[in-house]
Amino acid sequence: MLKDLKESRIDEVLKAYYRNGGIINGGSAGAIILGKDIMTSAHMDPNSIGLEESHPLNLLKDHTIWCHFKSTRSLVRL
């Protein structure tokens, strides 16, 4: 999703919409791309396309979203 957003330049459209007071809602991957980094999904979605950058829209004041979080001791603490 991030690759498509960047290549199509929709990321810039969404950022401008948000800066002008627009409301954006996303679920799962759509929520993750609103944050600072998508690496919170790396355990579920391997980088099979070779993304070199993991920084999406960052509309949440440098916060990161972790969707489908399950508290276990095996997870890396952020």
Write out pLDDT tens, residues 44-55.
777 777 777 777
The model carries a pTM of: 0.71
75 in a structural domain: no
| Total domain count, the chain | 1
Domain that holds residue 11: 1-67
73 in a structural domain: no
| Residue bearing tokens 């993750």 | 32
Q: How far is CA 41 from CA 44, 52, 55, 76, in A?
A: 5, 15, 12, 12
51 in a structural domain: yes
78 in a structural domain: no
77 in a structural domain: no
39 in a structural domain: yes
Nearest-angstrom CA–CA distance, 51 and 16: 24
Q: How far is CA 72 from CA 64, 69, 75, in A?
A: 19, 9, 6
* pLDDT higher than threshold 80 for residue 19: yes
